[in-house]
Structure 1
Amino acid sequence: MLPTSGSTTRKLLLAFGALVALFTAASGFALARLVDIRDGSHELREAGARARDTLELATAVRDQYAHVAHTIILGNASHVRFHEESRARVEALTQKLREQAQDDEERAWVADIQRNGDALDRLYRDTLLPAVLAKDQAAVTSAHGHALELVSLIQSRADSLARRFDTSIGQFEEHVATVEHTSFRWALFLLGGATLFAVGVGIYIGNSVARPVARLSEGAARVARGDLDARIPEDDPGELGRLAARFNQMTEALRTHQAQLVQHEKLASVGRLAAGVAHEINNPLGVILGYVRILQRKAEGALAEDLRVVEEEAVRCQQIVEGLLDLSRPGHGPVEQVALREACEDVVARLRESERLGQVDVRVEGEATAWAQPPRLRQVLLNLVRNATEAAGDGGSVALHISRTKDGGASVAVSDSGPGVKPEDRPRLFEPFFTTRSTGTGLGLAVSQAIAEAHGGHIEADTGPLGGARFTLRLPPASPAREAMA
């Protein structure tokens, strides 16, 4: 029993009991709300997973149609394998959605997607592809229109599923938000008497959570505005510091991937342009050159000089067209093992025979082999060596250093003693039509990079040991598939 004389003791005991009761009630209430939030969060994750699967299905269908379109544009069967991969992905996602369907309507929508997907696959294999290979334009046009209809039906059903899942997500989010709001209000009411504890918790949260979260929020807002150079300080200990580090890594990766996507889109756009008009331009250019050369046999004096200028400009136009064609067909096909030193010496010898090296000292060092298409590889080496000799100028030096990389691949570094590349020009070196020379087409490096990437490699630019620019062609190691193709 409580003593009757110790009112202070009774107050302390009552206060302690009230505080204990308050914390017990708050804990019980919070626990019940946490269970509710957990259940809602679980349902939200499931709905989110279904929505993501639906969006992935829509993307996979677009990829499948893209390979149908590429088959029509290219006029060959080079995208059959890619179409099969996209189709397999559509099948897997459709099966997954079928298992996740929660009512008859959703199951009917998934069945429509499956049926139309099968029809699209049959149309591609049985009608469109044979028509493309047979050059039957009317059949191709008809099949393409039917394919568009099927893709539209699939997209419509996928959109319906996505809207259904988005509605479920909204309902779950609203429920979770309501539970969170109610929990916060009651917890604040029950814990209102524990002022010191609340103040201590507030100070801790302010120093340990709110400030780091605010910095993360500010960084995310900057990224949302397009500032991919945004960085967050990583000096906070614990998970938030590690989260800031991961955020910075993500932003850097996003910036790199965006730059790659922009470059690839530029090359793809130029390639589509080339595929559409290059052949048509080549024909009149050939006629112009033919007539100019015939007229040159009879022309004298100023007229002969004018015709020479016309010929030079027409040849320049032909070179631009050939560069565009190279961009549209960087090369995918059988490869063989190539001795890089022999290929480099052959390129140097050809340039020397054509008197394009002038008084430039060119040397080849090192040995290695790589799996590649020999004509395409020589085209890349020819572009790099020719650019290096033009940069070095008469009396300059060019060095080709061949080496084996740590991962089993190979590299060819072409260095020159020229003025080098300006830092502001480096990001644009491999853009189509970008050139620092008055007589260049701006396609050589872009074509070379496209060929290197088609081989699974790439070209890097930096400052070389001779003081000028250095362009390094890196080729990947051989794989069993590559060896089997040889």
Structure 2
Amino acid sequence: MTRGGGSISLRLSVGFVLVLAVFGVALLVTLYNFEKVTGTSEQIRIRQKVRRQVTEIGKLAQELLARQQEFLETPDMRWEKVTEYREVCRQIEDGLRSMTSRSQDEPEHGYIVELQRAADRLQAVFLDRIVVGKLRTSLGAMPDGALDQAQAETLEILAGVADLNERLAQAFEIRTLDAESQARMAWNISLSITKTIFPIALVMSLLIIYYTHRSIVRPVGALLDGTRALADGNLHTRIELTGSGEFLALAESFNRMARALETNQKELLDAERLAGVGRLAAGIAHEINNPIAVILGYTKMLMAALPDGTPEKEQVQAVDEEARQCKNIVDGLLDLSRPSDPSRGEVVCPNDVVAEVLNLVQALQLTETVHVEDSVLDRDLPLTIGRGRLRQLLLNIVRNGLEVLQGRPDARMKIEGYVRPRSKVRAERLKDASPDASSFLILIIADNGPGIAPTDLDRIFEPFFTTKADGMGLGLAIAASIVRSHGGFIDAQSRLGDGTTLALGLPVLEAAPGPRL
């Protein structure tokens, strides 16, 4: 049903799959980039929050220093200041704990750990050294400079915290800018893919629409036009499609159907024409045959009674010849009008039948100026046709060719006969032949006569068509009717000035139908 290149449905399916694949790839890439943008945005949000917490911790560190100064400047032990100091430390610890949980996978996590250590040292210096030192002073102990050292260490730790805060803020700023750059890049990639993929998909869709119109809509329109023309009786209509696929196969099937209908109509017209000839022949047979028989009887009596050489006998002979010609015409009409029931098959030697035909035409003095050469298979063959019918159709064909060759210089006719398997016979010849025949007896009758015009070549097997001035146009029509009724084929090839070649094929039976007759 389909040709090379694949079917239309497969091509359309591939086209739709490609469009869907393009959209699918674009969607997957867009979703991937969208997820990437979402993740990056979340990272940016977390880093910004951590950055704010870093700033807040820096402020809390300064507040610790302020609380420490307030504690030292009071003349007595103010334990509420210690509580306030510890509350600020707790806020720093909470902030650092939150930053640690949000930045486990960040490179800046080490800075946060160092901040945690610095906060622990600040609290330890304040509680273990500054508070204890002031308590001892308030109890009357002499100052030993420990408080000054603790304050100096506190300032040193706070300077380190400030440096860590600055480095941590810069690191988060760089990481945030990098994340923003990646988010913008992912968004731009998605936007570029969208701008690229959708025009490509649109172009592919337009190509599919065009291909659908060319491969489906236009062929369907051509098929509809062809069926309408065929329905209107135009059997010559043909559908011309190019390419491959189901519609081309459908168009070829339609063309075969149209040719078959045209052939069937032609055969029906031929059958009706032959039926008309048959009715005409049946009607005139009784009207003409009896008078002709009477005329021939009287001419025979007169020729027997008249002496030779007299003008009267010559005139009677002329009447006898014309009467016999009339009888031949009537006999030809009757042969053409009889039902073409195939005769019973026989075992026949083609060479013997051809020899009989040549003897008959020689008796008719048709071979005196024509060189006839025959090369026919000389062995018995089981044929679907009987010996008498084979002789009749060959006589009609050979006699017709010899009559055309009369009076031509160097006139020649060649008769060949051989057996060919069905596979070696041209397909156009087999369309009217029996489908059951596995091999054929091929008979070729070729001459170097004047040839037949192309306009007349298709009509030479029609009844009453002739190119001879004195022809009846029945010989080849009768021969063709006999051949086709026995499951064979017949055709002619000719060119003006190059002679004519008639080829006929008769089925050879697998088993002999009976003894040779």
Equivalent position SS for 1:232: coil
1:312 aligns with 2:327: no
Identify the residue that residue 356 of structure 2 maps to in structure 1: 346
In 1, are the aligned partners of 2:450 and 2:496 still within 8 Å (CA)? no
Cα distance, 1:464 vs structure 2: 8.8
1:395-406 equivalence runs, <5 A: 395-406=410-421
Would you say the 8 A contact 1:414–1:472 is kept in 2?
Answer: yes
Alpha-carbon contact 2:452-2:495 (below 8 Å) kept: no
Structure 1 runs not aligned, ≥5 long:
1-195
CA contact (8 A) 1:416 1:464 kept: no
Q: CA deviation at 1:428?
A: 1.5
Q: Which residue of 2 aligns with 1:361?
A: 371
Alignment match, 2:252: 245
Q: What CA distance in whole angstroms lies between the structure 1 residues aligned with 2:497 and 2:349?
A: 25
Residues of 2 paired with 1:263 and 1:376: CA distance?
21
Give the structure 2 partner of residue 456 of structure 1.
Answer: 487
The answer to whether the aligner puts 1:215 opposite 2:230 as a matched pair is: no
Matched residue type, 2:366 = R
Q: What is the CA distance between 1:362 and its match in structure 2?
A: 0.5
Report if aligned partners of 1:415, 1:464 keep a CA contact under 8 Å in 2: no
Aligned Cα root-mean-square deviation (Å): 3.3
Q: How does 1:283-432 map to 2 (within 5 A)?
A: 283-296=290-303, 297-298=305-306, 306-329=315-338, 330=340, 332-367=342-377, 369-371=381-383, 372-394=385-407, 395-407=410-422, 408-432=439-463
Residue 204 and residue 459 in structure 1: after superposition, are their counterparts in 2 closer, same or farther (change >3 A)? closer
1:269 Cα deviation from its structure 2 partner: 2.9
Contact 2:492 2:502 in 1 (8 A): yes
Return the offset for 1:313.
2.7
Query: Any idea what the Cα deviations from partners look like across 1:98-148, whole Å, max 9, x if unmatched?
Result: xxxxxxxxxxxxxxxxxxxxxxxxxxxxxxxxxxxxxxxxxxxxxxxxxxx
8 Å Cα contact 1:340/1:370 also seen in 2: no
Q: Larger relative CO (CA 8 A, sep 6+): 1 or 2? A: 2
CA distance in 2, matches of 1:373, 1:321: 23
Residues 347 and 516 of structure 2 are in contact (CA less than 8 Å); yes or no, is this contact kept in structure 1?
no
| Contact 2:483 2:506 (8 Å CA) reproduced | yes
Separation in 1, partners of 2:416, 2:213 = 58
The Cα of 1:344 is off from its aligned counterpart by 0.5
Q: CA deviation at 1:351?
A: 1.9
What code does the residue aligned with 2:285 have?
A
Q: CA deviation at 1:199?
A: 9.4
* Residue matched to 2:231: 224
In the alignment, structure 2 segments of 5+ residues that lack a partner are 1-202, 423-438
Identical-pair percentage: 37
- Greater Cα radius of gyration, structure 1 or 2: 2
Specify the code of the residue in structure 1 equivalent to 2:456. Answer: D
Q: Which residue of 2 aligns with 1:18?
A: none
Deviation at 1:378, TM superposition (A): 0.7
Residues 138-189 of structure 1 deviation map (CA, whole Å, 9 limit, x = unaligned): xxxxxxxxxxxxxxxxxxxxxxxxxxxxxxxxxxxxxxxxxxxxxxxxxxxx
Q: How high is the TM-score relative to the length of structure 1?
A: 0.54
Specify whether residues 424 and 301 from structure 1 end up closer, same or farther in structure 2 by C-alpha distance, changes over 3 A only: farther
Q: How does 1:33-44 map to 2 (within 5 A)?
A: none
> Are the aligned partners of 1:426 and 1:461 in contact in 2 as well (CA < 8 Å)?
yes
Please report how far the alpha carbon of residue 231 of structure 1 lies from its aligned counterpart in structure 2 after TM superposition: 2.0
The CA deviation at 1:236 is 4.9
Say whether the 8 Å CA contact 1:463–1:470 is kept in structure 2: yes
Distance 1:316 1:197, change over 3 A: same
Structure 1 residues 454 and 482: alpha-carbon distance in aligned structure 2, compared to 1, 3 A threshold: farther
Mean alpha-carbon deviation: is it higher for 312-321 or for 204-213?
A: 204-213
Between the aligned partners of 1:485 and 1:314, the Cα distance in structure 2 is: 37
Tell me if the contact between 1:335 and 1:485 (Cα under 8 Å) persists in the aligned partners: no
> For 1:424 and 1:203, how far apart are their aligned partners in 2?
44
How far does residue 459 in structure 1 lie from its aligned partner after superposition?
2.0
Distance in 2 (CA, whole Å) between partners of 1:464 and 1:349 is 29
Paired with 2:238 and 2:224, the residues of 1 have a C-alpha distance of 12
